[in-house]
Every structure is written in structure tokens, then in C-alpha cells.
Chain A
Amino acid sequence: MPTTADIVARATQLFDDLNFSAAREWKAAKSGRKVVGFMPIYVPREIIHAADMLPLGIVGGGDQLEVIHGDAYYQSYICRIPRSTIELGVSGRLDFVEGMLFPSICDVIRNLSGMWKLMFPGVYSRYFDVPQNYRDDIGGNYYINELAELREDLGKLRGKPITDDELRNSIKLYNENRRLVRELYAFRAEKPWQAPAAEVYLLLRAGFVLPVEQHTEMLRDYLAAARAEERPKRDNCRVVLTGVFCEQPPLNLIKSLELAGCYVVDDDLLLVTRWLTAEVPVDGDPMKNLALAFLHHSESTAAKYEPDQKEKGQHLVRAVKRTGAEGVIFACPSFCDPALLDRPILQHVLKDAGIPYIAFKYAENSGQMQPIREQAGTFADSIKLWSGT
């Protein structure tokens, strides 16, 4: 059985590989295979998978990619992720990707969808809209039709329509994958020293390049190995990390938080891996099932409208309670309107609930971790002081 170190080493290798070799190899292994990229925060990967394609998660270039061309496309006051994504495209690192989906998250990604159409005319590019109305007969119907368009387009791209049974099979596979991600999150919340945040993150990132079947296997192996190993427990406080749903914090940032004395017991990183919070029924109309799951059982985040003022921000309070966290860390990408405009509202909610928090900004290529480490360290100390009194 592989150890956690073996699995993490493999996940790290995938993470470091800016050429997406694993996805390229998957594609080359059988003729006719296609790859469809997607950006944060959510696309129904089931539909891509059902067309025999690999859904490839694209979340910018991180802190190792040298951005040479990307800066020529963006002003200094726009976040990093679109420019490094352009860099990935222009530098040929995505030349094996036949399709790109740009989910409805903010104006930057929205406009990037049009840029992609112009810059990569041979690629199937689609802005993937989701409803902000959650009634079955209004937002639901709209969404079912949007999903049907995507299904039809991907069927055409493959050269053969996607069948209901193919969709049901994919739903089953992703249900299992999501179940394991949740299990991993629950395990970490229970014993964060056994599943450090950086490892959990790397594991989820592996799911952005691997076929779901392989990724599910990896999650299962990691959980088994992590349960079997005894790792030293530190006197850290427990925090929920939020705001990190789009542009990625550097891996070092996640590591720094734990080194500074904060165990991350929940976060909104890579939300697509657990966006749907309940199992999607396998029987019945698969498109309807996916749509209803989106409407009634999906995560809360800044890009999604919360119709009920009383509910606004409660997901965070619930996450704190569920995981026994003692505080919240707001880490938001610089220039990110969704995260930064949501932040004051969420902070008010936390304040009312008596939950302490701190906040800072980052960029995917931030190098200096010292200030963040100091801030997180002081936060951890103050929490300990609090709980001691």
C-alpha cells in the first residue's frame, strides 16, 4: 500500500508540471480522446466525462510560471489568474486542449471567455452560465436548457451524441469522488495533523489533471494511509480559510499558515471538487438531476446570489461549528471584486457570531510569506490566549 509520502510525491509532481504531461499522456493513449479545460468555480464535469473527454482544471500558472506574454493583456490592477492563464495558452502549454469552459464567476473570467474565442479560434470556447434564480420552474428550466446545449456541443465535438446512460455512469463516478473528498475534509477536520492542508490541497489539485477514476483511487489510498500513520500533533489552533475560491494562493502560503500555528480545517479551495453537497441521483433524467443538485444542494460562495439575507454568510458560521474551528482567515486575491466585496458582509456575520478572524491579500505569485506568517502566528496566539481565559 502506498504511504502518504508516496501519494503526496505523485500529487506534487502533477502540481509542478506546467505542461500537463499527465493529461497529454492520457490523451495520447487512445486515438480520438479529447480534453476540455475549465476554470473556477464550477462546471458539471460529468457531462465532459460522459463525452469520453478529460475535464482539465485550469487555475492559472501559480508561482513557478514565468509570465512573459500575459502581462501585455492585462492592466496592473487586474488579478493574476487571467494573465497566467493566457500565458499558458500563448506559450503552447494548452495546445492539446480542444475546449475551454469559462464559468460564471466574475467579469474577468467572463471577458476572458471572449478573449479565448479570438485568440484560439480553433478551440471550442464557451461561457458557462448558471442561474441566480433557484426556483425549479425558472432557474431550473433555464439551467437544464443550458446543460442541454453543452451536452449537444460536446457530443458534436466527439462526433457522437452523449447518451443518458453515459451521463448516469459519469454521475455515479463523480458522486463517489465527491464523497471521498468530503470524507477527506471530515478526516482533516477531526485530525488535522494527520492530513496537513498542503497535502489535502495537492491531492485535490491532482483531480484537476487526472481522470476521475484514477483520482478516486488516489483519494482512497491517501485516506487509508493517513489513517494508518501516526503523525505528531502540534499545539495549533483550528481555522477556516476562505476567499481562495478562484486565483490560487501559493502552496507556500498554505504551508505557512500551518507552520505559523493554524491548522486549516476547512476552506473554499478548488470548490468544484465538492460543489454539489449531496449525492446526485443516478436514476431518472440525468440533466434534471444535475440541475436540481445545483439549485438546491451546492456550496455558497461570492459568485452565487443568496436570496435570503438571514442566510448570507451562515455557511461560514456552519463551517466553523462543523469543524470545531476557532477562527476564520480571509485570504483574498488582490483586485478580486467578488472576494473582497463579500468580505465585509461575511465579517459582520462572524462578528455577530463571536468568531474571530483576520484578513490579508495575496497573488498567485506572492513570494514573501513572512508578513502572512507573522499575522497568522499572532492570530493563533491570540486565539489560544482567548480559549485559555
Chain B
Amino acid sequence: MTTVIVTPKVAAKEIEKDASMVKQKEMMAAHYDRLTNAPKTGEKVCNTFVPGNLNELIMCFDLANNLPEVNAIQSGLRRQSGAYVLEAEKIGHSEDVCTYVKSDIGMMAKGNIGPNGKRMPDPDVLLLSYTGCFTFMKWFELLREQYKCETIMLHTPYMGDGKITPNMIEYMVKQLKEEVIPKLERISGVKFDIDRLREYLKKSAKAEDNLVRVLQTAKNKPSPIDAYFGGIYYIGPIFGAFRGTDDAIEYYNFLLAEVEDRLAKGQGPVTPDGDMGKEKYRLVVEGPPNYTNFRQFWKMFYDEGAVVVASSYTKVGGVYDFGFRHDPSKPLETLAEYCLGVYTNRNLPMRIEMLTNYINEYQADGLLINSIKSCNSFSAGQLLIMREVEKRTGKPAAFVESDLVDPRYFSAANIKNRLESYFQMIEQKRAGTRDAA
């Protein structure tokens, strides 16, 4: 699951304008160079997952944060994941399982070349932040077998009853105190300093404030942003290796200024083909995107004047829009709460409430689900989600299917057909409402 770290291919004049894009691109390039140079610089590397990504803690031990999901996304966007997935299947992986894992394993088998064309480093530690997805455990057991490096499990209980209990927090804080931190100290050789963690957390909260502001500009009509296709770029730094850094604060400052400027001018989102035309449909999207045909998929929306005003995918690395912020006054508890609250760690009724709420708050025309073949965590139960949200909002919903990084499961014609009939359905619904009025 999660976030992306390249900048969209926009017209040259747009790039000149958008300081945030330039900034993000620089940050990502520097980060990949840091990673691929690690064997030379002697920096130690920690692999971890985007949901439950404890970047602030990782930084306390001077470790470089490497996110295999982000690497898989990169492979998807660069159209290499298909070959990686096949490679993994060739060496014994089933065609049925999560393709993120297979893209990662296949990339390793083919020399582990990162997006900057250089070899990715072997991890010194696998921080198995186990939240929101069972596959994570198998994924790191598979990596551990290859790298033979230390693995640290941080188990986040599932919010099965829709609440965080004191028992859950206590369990997680204890794991952090007595397992995660001592092991990271030993592996990195750096002593843990809780004040350093507090400083990073303070910075996280600042960036989080601005991210929320950006995402909430989509409540306006027209929306100045696309909160799914565009949103994926906006979450890049905070879901990746930058939460808690000055770079992230600066990035979100730039981004907010740009988005507010568009808002003031009454402009819609920027797309890979420049400014989007008139906003015709406002959608809420549930589920991850497809990365192998990302631009083609996005185009199917903006060509029709459809803008995504809110999405659940932009919450997989943390749900901030209901008030949670990293809180430096309770550093370990706040990390626990963060892990517990990520989107896929919320039970189905909570997810339904969230999506319903988005449709109402963002005045959307309905819900679109992009169901990912790979991903049981998101996908199991989505048909019920669709029906429930439809029932509660009275707005039409639609369902398309694809995969994150396996190009074999992207059928452009099918998806386009579905989308077209969905937009028609919305039109009919509107006409019906007008008639009734």
C-alpha cells in the first residue's frame, strides 16, 4: 500500500511554478542517494512499512528509512514491476498473493536496483511495524530469510471494536520501551534520547496540520486539488521518510500556499495534462490506485471532469483529519496511537463511517471503489462497504477492479466502461433529484 514519491509529469511551466514539486523531487532524490550510498557512508538502514512508519523513532538512531512498499510503487510507475512479479513467481511465489511483496522479492532477485539506477542497500534491521495488514509479517519473514538480519516485531492490535483501549496502548508502549528501543540502540550504536524524539514529533505535528489543511481544501467547489491521484503526491513526504523533518515542514508550507492560491483563483486541480477543465463530478474513492497505468487511470477521471475530493488511501499512513496529531508530550503513547489509528487498522464499521462522512462533508456525488486484487486488507469486505455507504448517503456507488503493481490486472476498457456508466448514473440521479424538487 501507500505513497508515491515522484512528481507528476506536468508541463514545464507548471514545474517552474510549483515550489512544492521541486522540493519533493529534491527530497526524494536525496533520500534515494542516501540509501544507495549507505554501504559507502557506513550509514545503517532500517526497512519498515508505511502504515505504522515510526520515522521519528528511526531518526533518533540515525538510521536511514527504507520503505519497500514505496520501492514497489516506484517499480510500478516505471513499469518494471510486471517483470519483478513474474520473477518472484518463477522462484516459487504463488500467483495469488500480494503483488507488492512479489515486486519487492523480484526486484531483489534481479539485483535490487533502486529508482536512481543504483543498488539498494541491504537492511541492517527490519522493523516489522505490524499494523493494518497481516501480509506485512510474511513479507518481512521472507526478507529476513534473505538478508539474515535482525527483525523487530512491533505488534499493533486491531481496532476490532472500533476503539483504542488502555490495554492496547500499554501493550504497545511496553513493546516500544522494552523491545523496539533497546534493540534499535544495540543495532545502531546510538543511545536513545527521548527529547530528540519529542523534537521530531513536534515537527511532525506541524507538517500534519498543513497536510490536513491541504486535503480539506477539497471541500470547496470547485476543489483546487484531486485528493486521490494528486493526493498520492501530497502524502509522499509525510508517509515516507520525512515525517518529523524540517524538509517536510517546508514542503507542506509550499504546498499549502500553492493550493490556497489556486483556491483563491477558483482553479481546479493540476493534472498531468495541465489544468483540469470544469469540475463535473465529485467523488470519494476507497482503495489504493493502480500504479502500472497510473496516468491512464487518472486521465479517465479528468477527461470526464471528475475530481476526487477525498480518499481513504491517503489515510493508510496515518489518519489526521479527525484530530490526531503526533503529540510530543507523550512520545511513546502517541506513536502507539498513531499505529493503532491507520486506516486499515480500523474496523469495517469505522471505515464505512469515514467514507460516509467524506461524502457528506465534501459534498460528493458518490463513492467509487477501486478494488485491488492483491490486497485482502483493503479489499475483503468492500462490496459490503459499497452497499452500506450507498444506503447511508443515498448517493450511487461503483466498483472497479485492478491491481497495485501487476499490469496483468489492469483492463483499461473495462474500467473505462464502468466509469462511464457510473457518471451516467450520477447524471440520472441528479436529474431525478431536480425533477423531484
In the complex, the answer to whether A338 meets B171 with C-beta atoms within 8 Å is no
Q: How far is B381's CA from A75's CA once the two chains are assembled, in angstroms?
A: 9
Contact partners of A340 in chain B: CB under 8 A: 93-94, 96-97
Known: A119-B384, A129-B160. A361 touches B96 (CB 8 A): yes
The listed residue (A115, A126, A341) touching B381 by CB distance below 8 A is A115
A373 at the interface (CB under 8 A from B): no
Cα distance, A129 to B159, chains bound together (Å): 10
- Give every chain A residue within 8 A of B101 (Cβ-Cβ): 341
Say yes or no for A194: interface residue by CB 8 A criterion.
Answer: no
- CB atoms of B153 and A345 under 8 A apart: no
Residues 137-158 of B, flagged 1 when their CB comes within 8 A of A and 0 if not, give 1110110110010010101011
- Whether A115 contacts B157 by the Cβ 8 Å rule is no
Q: How far is the CB of A133 from chain B (nearest CB, A)?
A: 6
Interface string of A117-147 (1 = CB under 8 A from B): 1110000001111011101011101100110
Chain B's closest residue to A348 (CB) is B145
**Which residues of chain A from 181 to 236 have a CB within 8 Å of any chain B CB?**
none
A237 CB, nearest partner CB in chain B, Å: 23
Cα-based distance from A128 to B351 in the complex (angstroms): 19
**Cβ A341 vs Cβ B92 within 8 A:** no
Chain B residues with Cβ below 8 Å from A341 are 93-94, 97-98, 101, 135, 138-139, 142
Q: Which A25-69 residues have C-beta < 8 A from chain B?
A: none
Interface contact B137-A82, CB-CB below 8 Å: no
Q: A126-B161, A132-B155, A145-B167 are in contact. Are A107 and B380 (CB under 8 A)?
A: yes
Which residues of chain A are within 8 angstroms of B170 by Cβ–Cβ distance?
Answer: 141-142
Complex partner residue of A138 from B128, B158, B175, B388, CB under 8 angstroms? B175
Q: Assuming the A-B contacts A127-B158, A337-B98, are A132 and B153 also in contact, with contact meaning beta carbons closer than 8 angstroms in the complex?
A: yes
Contact assessment for B381 and A114 in the assembled complex, using a CB-CB cutoff below 8 Å? yes
Complex CA distance for A57 and B174, rounded to whole angstroms: 34
A343 within 8 A of B: yes
- Check if B380 sits within 8 Å of A74, measured CB to CB: yes
Within 8 Å CB of A358, what residues of B? none
| Contact across chains for B348 and A107 when beta carbons are under 8 A apart | no
Flag if B145 contacts A129 (CB, 8 Å).
Answer: no
* Complex-state Cα separation, A107 to B135, whole angstroms: 8
Q: Contact at A337–B381, with CB atoms within 8 Å? A: no
A5 within 8 A of B: no
Which A residues lie within 8 Å of B175 (CB)?
133, 138
Given contacts A75-B401, A107-B380, contact A336 B171 (CB under 8 A): no
Of the listed stretches A13-21, A163-171, A264-272, A303-311, chain B binds A303-311
Residues of A within 8 A of B103 (CB): none
Within A287-318, which residues are at the interface with B (CB < 8 Å)? 302-303, 305-307, 309, 312
In whole angstroms, how far apart are the Cα atoms of A275 and B128 in the complex?
Answer: 25
Report the nearest B residue to A303, measured CB to CB. Answer: B134
B365-404, CB < 8 A from A: 371, 373, 376-377, 379-384, 388, 401
Distance A106 CA – B136 CA, assembled complex (angstroms) = 11
Closest residue of chain B to A132 (Cβ to Cβ) is: B155
A133 to B157, CA, bound (A): 11
Q: Which residues of B contact A106 (CB under 8 A)?
A: 134, 376
- CA–CA, A129 to B345, complex, Å? 13
A119–B387 Cα distance when bound, in Å, is 12
A72 at the interface (CB under 8 A from B): yes
Point out the residues of chain A lying under 8 angstroms from B349, CB to CB: 114, 117-118
Question: Which residue of B has the minimal Cβ distance to A304?
Answer: B137
Q: B178 in the interface, Cβ–Cβ < 8 Å?
A: yes
With a CB–CB cut-off of 8 A, which chain B residues contact A113? 160, 347-348
Can you list 22 pairs linking A and B with CB atoms under 8 Å apart? A74-B380, A75-B401, A78-B379, A104-B158, A107-B376, A108-B376, A110-B160, A111-B381, A114-B381, A115-B348, A133-B175, A137-B178, A142-B170, A142-B174, A307-B151, A309-B151, A336-B96, A337-B135, A338-B134, A342-B141, A343-B94, A348-B145
